[in-house]
Structure 1
């Protein structure tokens, strides 16, 4: 990615972006941490398993050499010798090797949770392209890694010199000592070297992990447009959601208007509010079948006039019902008396008109 493209990534990554990176196998990983765990494993092997490994191999080789004259030199004899030697070596180093593998895995698991991804195994032309390879070799990251490697070699070399220099007289005379004495001394010197290197590499690994974590987080940052696009994908396009909401309101309004002709009365605050109420024998309480303000109220009144639905002006009641009840909801008990007076008046007017028509 070019510096110009990276400079546009000013927004912190979302959780979805981080999860997607994990699924791709793109994680913050420091090779120095894995190296440190491997060194710890090597130190444990030397400290704990070295005597048993030496003893097992020593006894096995002593038995082979002591009975070497009995070993047949034909194909079968050689196969049996190699098989027995292999089993002996496996018995000696099998458990230490398993510990080393576990620590190597731990070096990755302490940096990030377990990831199984085949993304990096997919064939890509950029991996075999000479131009892409040259860019990787001569990139800024490669230069930093090369410089870091030189500094690490120099630091480890200096540390080894500082540990071994006081022992220079003992090292000069070591070749003249008995083998039985050389092995314990070699083990002791190795442990001192490994301990010093592990202490140094702990600081290197911690610093490198923080740097790799910072680089990974910067790589995951997003542009403002990417944040907007992800929000649209997860929450839905606001324009589309607004249009859907508008369509639903229009459909609901059409259903509401279709119910106005079935109303018993329309209570209005002459121009601002209109509430259509329906009451029939057997109903517990009057039901609101339509309500609205301004243009919707005007439409309700027009439909009511066209269908001979009585329109009663009662501003306080119209405002209260419009604020407190919803469509298809029964009138609250505290408004029974006021609504009953309106409906009673309408029914009396209807009965009087019917009697006159006779």
Structure 2
């Protein structure tokens, strides 16, 4: 009763964090019918394109082996081993392609549903996996009963398909038996192709339905109560480590964007080592110079270094650099009280074209 009430209270869809945690723990939606469908597709490929030639080659070998046994020596143990190896190799050649197609199909079906990942928790030994009580509940519980109904429905659905497609199979077999052996082989091949194709079509319908159901059931199992959603949001917003990490990432991104803008500056005003302010002034862009970057200590030195690499004039003015640094934020125009001082620096740049660094005392 408590479990039913708990399920009824889970009315909210799973959050991205809940889904991500579930996937990391190895709890992902998985359809058991998809690998079966992939196996039938692999068998269909073999039957359509390779079965006839393979069967002809194997039949030719076996006919020689059965009709003319005197050609095979069996006088010693080595003769018996050689005969065994020959028969084994012929049969292996006939089935190795089928096995290869089945393996590739199974792996493809699993990868198609979920990206493979190693989850140590899933391979750890647990008593519940070998417990008779737990096994009894899995087999005869609600989930076991649902799986039984699914399997029964799958068998009935496939049987109905086969009945309508293969209802005249006995007549076709009788007609094929009175023809020549080669013709009868073609009849058998056509019936095998039709049989495998029919089962494959039925499995496509079943696997598609099971894929949708497994995804829906997985999301239903992950549903949360309103209180769980609130607790998760509170934890995400209130976690000091997470908030500190987010602030650090934001500062790093802002610093990277700021440094990338230094090469576009018109000039840099510096307080030799403590402050640096990069200004850009293009008459067509803004009415006044704009602070594109500023920094203290190591960042100030980095701004100067980038400016020197790009031949941007660097002016050392202690008072001006300190004042602009404290009063103007990045991507903002300087206020009117700095117009005259900055205009004088820009005039020096224009009048001394080619000079990379100047000092204002």
TM class, shorter-length: 0.5 to 0.7
CA distance in 2, matches of 1:286, 1:27: 58
Unaligned runs of 5+ in 1: 246-281, 289-320, 337-358
Partner of 2:80: 78
1:12 aligns with 2:18: no
- Kept after mapping to 2: 8 A contact 1:232/1:238: no
1:91 is aligned, of 90, 93, 96, to: 93
SS at match of 2:200: helix
1:284 aligns with 2:319: yes
Partner of 1:162: 164
- Kept after mapping to 2: 8 A contact 1:8/1:223: yes
The change in CA–CA distance for 1:283 and 1:160 in structure 2 (over 3 A counts) is closer
Partner of 2:61: 60
CA distance in 1, matches of 2:242, 2:161: 66
Deviation, 1:175, is: 4.4
Deviation, 1:174, is: 4.2
Larger radius of gyration: 1
CA distance in 2, matches of 1:81, 1:204: 45
CA distance in 2, matches of 1:19, 1:38: 30
Partner of 2:115: 113
Deviation, 1:222, is: 3.0
SS at match of 2:40: helix
CA distance in 2, matches of 1:123, 1:232: 35
1:334 is aligned, of 311, 333, 337, to: 337
Residues 273-313 of structure 1 deviation map (CA, whole Å, 9 limit, x = unaligned): xxxxxxxxx9626989xxxxxxxxxxxxxxxxxxxxxxxxx
1:126 aligns with 2:128: yes
Residues 216-236 of structure 1 deviation map (CA, whole Å, 9 limit, x = unaligned): 111222334444554465554
SS at match of 1:284: helix
Partner of 1:143: 145
CA distance in 2, matches of 1:127, 1:172: 52
- Kept after mapping to 2: 8 A contact 1:42/1:100: yes
The change in CA–CA distance for 1:7 and 1:78 in structure 2 (over 3 A counts) is farther
Partner of 1:37: 38
Deviation, 1:214, is: 0.4
The change in CA–CA distance for 1:173 and 1:126 in structure 2 (over 3 A counts) is same
- Kept after mapping to 2: 8 A contact 1:43/1:195: yes
The change in CA–CA distance for 1:21 and 1:73 in structure 2 (over 3 A counts) is farther
Report the RMSD for the aligned CA atoms in angstroms.
3.5
Partner of 1:302: none
Q: State the TM-score, normalizing by the size of structure 1.
A: 0.62
The change in CA–CA distance for 1:286 and 1:88 in structure 2 (over 3 A counts) is closer
The change in CA–CA distance for 1:5 and 1:172 in structure 2 (over 3 A counts) is same
The alignment of Structure 1 onto Structure 2 pairs a total of residues equal to: 261
Unaligned runs of 5+ in 2: 248-316, 340-361
Q: Aligned runs of 1:307-326 on 2, under 5 Å?
A: none
Deviation, 1:126, is: 1.1
- Kept after mapping to 1: 8 A contact 2:237/2:243: no
The change in CA–CA distance for 1:173 and 1:283 in structure 2 (over 3 A counts) is closer
Q: Aligned runs of 1:176-187 on 2, under 5 Å?
A: 176-187=178-189
Partner of 1:221: 223
CA distance in 2, matches of 1:206, 1:91: 34
The change in CA–CA distance for 1:126 and 1:286 in structure 2 (over 3 A counts) is closer
SS at match of 1:4: helix
